[in-house]
Chains A and B, each alone.
Chain A
């Protein structure tokens, strides 16, 4: 682990205990499980720009490069033995084929020397060629289960919902991506450069957590800011 990662690990505010397992929630949007050397990221939505371009909106083609660059910083900091991408890693089924040469090479070099698991998501339900790694629907390790779609399994780490929380203070509102978690489950923030968000006050979160008794850990500059879901504003 790099010094930067060690500093983050030492700050208690960035620790989230899930089903008894202490996890390091990185304010850049990744989740690190030290015991297993496992780094999880959710909803990369690679090639979202080109997906829009194919439909007539010529968004910048730099989202993939940008997402992969941020992921490579996390990997450089934690040097994980295993990386788990929690589904919707590509924005659509054609995404892996559209991947540019540089980005493909960047991905390959990140995968070198470590295990890489692509969990399937609703945007990318089928295994794809040319992107390395192994494909599976879910991954259970000790008390934790990683999968794309949230369900009611205890100890679950999921993605899909792209949680975002809004805080208002002194008449100004701030909106950020966040980890949404209680003691038994967690929804990770979307990691992709072009991924929008769903407000944690949306019914989908109350359904998942049963009540509003969960915490939103907002991604900040070098630290997380934690607020009770009740304190967050709806859209």
Chain B
């Protein structure tokens, strides 16, 4: 059974029913042989007192039942009173209006919870109607839900936005008493959390007696989540109450002590395959977590190659077809699988009681993240969960070691609460106008009561309203095409019902890369037409397919496939017997190393005493590094320079994650170019950055006409950054998603889905033009805010540059240092140099010339 509704503790004393729990509930608990947990009763008491509360509990702590208990108790008491009868025109219907709204990040989770909630309701005979509302709910049922809402409605943030964007929202939500927000720790880290916070602010206005319950895994700053749950006053802060459940047994986390040679670089963990397989064999059910979809594909392939015992091993990641994923989840729930290789697609939600081992392959990236993954195993609180970390290379050994130490201390490194994004705000404002006409002053006050938007200035709010109305352009050209307009009554309303229709088709904050369906067909004989209509395997990013040529092979959905053809919006593939496929480079969960864990890794490197806890191979590696070069003190940045094969290398070790390093690489190469050091390329990994070129950096430093302090000065985040942003493909991708969320570019049109390609315009072109003519436009500001923490990770780079000021240690070497080997091995695999593609074209053209002259 999934997502257990109940506590699993046996009742120690059947007659010890607490006075707080109504008799019918006490009997039900006792009948199941259970006893209410302290946190369940505490939460009930808070709710009875009309307080909003955040419950922090480990997985398996009866969290969901705790969240619903207050509602079930209230509804059971209400059931005794005479029903409110209401005419629908044809018949009388009972309704006391919507009582509780439950919001989950996953559609599947909402459906599961509803199913499981029916059990206690049915067994106690409670007069409670429970319904779900997701994208799959039929239109007739949705309409009925508006007219005659259930007592408890389970849904997602997007559906809440849609419900609020209709004229009958005040009717539907006027009776609402409680909102339960599940997996809050995960919801609040994204723009979905921003959207949810705005919806919640609206609900507090529509339903003045509303209280909230947040359910969350352990986080670093629970007080911030407590702010999210209640309306923020104009001055100061308001917090929900905090209820913390007793922690489960301390998990047993170990690092795989491999007998094999530990790779210098790479993420495949191929060396540990036999050992991973042996673990699967000796456990009942194992979850094997990896960090990217391509790693999942690779590991799954390799495990099956080694699978002499024919163990039932399955694959689960976000690109696979939904039906395929459900089959795996069901097989898992029914205990039919021995192992599932999965990505963060299983970080959340669906729980399986029988998992007795979690294996994390590759870097853990963050300790909260690791703890949540470990929490996926063994839901009996009194027994410890068991997890094995499998580092794929030497640096990852350091990271695993740091993570194990952090877990032992119960340290948390969840990210801080976001500042609400302006593109999401724009979407919400349009949605508000689609519901009831709004007064700007009132809406501004309402929005500022949402914790992520508490610091929104009136100027930014007004600019966003202006954007929604006419695009927010300094050149006022679109007054007559306005989407919303200020009426004489002082209210903003939509100018045409079509605006609302289009809003509804484009609601949401999840902007995926353009995806292409992958369909399996039979291999084409020469000249034969590719047959249509094979099995759907899933979806891959369009830009990945763009890099393939017909005949290329890649691994997807656990098979080696050959690219046959692109037909409309589907890519046709056939099974291939190739043994060396081109593995997909498509992303999917490339989380950067957390700042906290990075600091621990630096501390570990700086403390030779602590190396005893490391495998021999790694310790020797560090000792040789110490002898040949050095290891920096925890707060220092080590920069090594050395010549190699007629080129000069500069390698630094900031440990700030690949994204921040890539940005640093882009900016450093610009500076080196200006210093006439003729940089040729760079490569970044999670830990280090290597730049190489034709100029001798060490010589220039020795001569005193180049200083590393200047090279790494924070002012690179000024003009250099601006220049690069003008052409950066990553920045354009960031802008695209803002433009779509804010409604500038619509992905879907009523009745016109097919001709999407003709109707949309490349956001890259819009970016170029807007950047030139109105650089302070609100969407560019939104994109810059995203770039600070997203694909460019500029904020983290800025913090790093300020941290290392005056603390750069230069080591001029004669040859490659041991520490630099891992990052140098990535050359060729990961090279990114400049995004101005002209150089690439020039190279391609030159190559042709060379070929022609041969």
Contacts and interface: CB of A to CB of B under 8 A. Distances in A.
A10 B768 CA distance: 30
B744 A59 contact: yes
Contact of B766 (A59, A166, A167, A226): A59
Contact of B471 (A61, A166, A176): A61
Contact of B478 (A58, A166, A171): A58
Contacts of B774: 60, 62
Contact of A170 (B481, B745, B840): B840
Contacts of B777: 60
A33 interface: no
A97 B279 CA distance: 74
Given A173-B546, A227-B848, A233-B549, A62 B765 contact: no
Contacts of B761: 48, 52, 57, 59, 194, 196
Given A53-B471, A169-B844, A196-B761, A61 B546 contact: no
- B585, B745, B838: residue with the most chain A Cβ atoms closer than 10 Å: B838
**Interface bracket on B:** 35 or more
B766 A194 contact: yes
Interface in A198-231: 218, 220-221, 225-227, 231
18 contacts: A53-B477, A53-B478, A54-B481, A57-B744, A58-B471, A58-B744, A60-B777, A62-B475, A65-B773, A168-B547, A193-B765, A220-B841, A220-B842, A221-B838, A227-B848, A233-B546, A233-B549, A235-B546
B74 interface: no
B704 to A, nearest CB: 35
A56 B483 CA distance: 7
A50 B478 contact: yes
Given A52-B761, A194-B766, 14 more contacts: A56-B483, A57-B744, A59-B471, A59-B761, A60-B471, A60-B769, A60-B770, A60-B774, A63-B769, A167-B841, A170-B843, A193-B769, A233-B546, A235-B566
A174 interface: yes
Interface string B822-843: 0000000001000011101111
A72 B831 CA distance: 39
B319 to A, nearest CB: 20
A61 B746 contact: no
B762 interface: yes
Contacts of B831: 170
Nearest to A168: B547
A112 interface: no
Interface in A21-80: 48, 50, 52-54, 56-63, 65-66
B762 A196 contact: yes
B473 interface: yes
B475 A100 contact: yes
A59 B761 CA distance: 9
Contacts of B842: 220, 225
Interface in B368-384: none
A227 B845 contact: yes
| Interface range, A side | 35 or more
B478 A66 contact: no
A56 B502 contact: yes
A77 to B, nearest CB: 20
Contact of A53 (B481, B498, B766, B847): B481
Contacts of A221: 836, 838
Contacts of A100: 475, 477
Interface in B173-205: none
Contacts of A63: 769
B523 interface: no
A100 B566 CA distance: 42
A194 B837 CA distance: 20
Interface in A86-138: 100
A58 B483 contact: yes
B841 A225 contact: yes
Contact of A231 (B475, B770, B840, B848): B848
B536 interface: no
A234 interface: yes
Given A60-B770, A61-B475, A170-B831, A176 B841 contact: yes
B12 interface: no
Interface in B750-807: 761-762, 765-766, 768-770, 772-774, 777
Contacts of A169: 840-841, 843-844, 847
B470 interface: yes
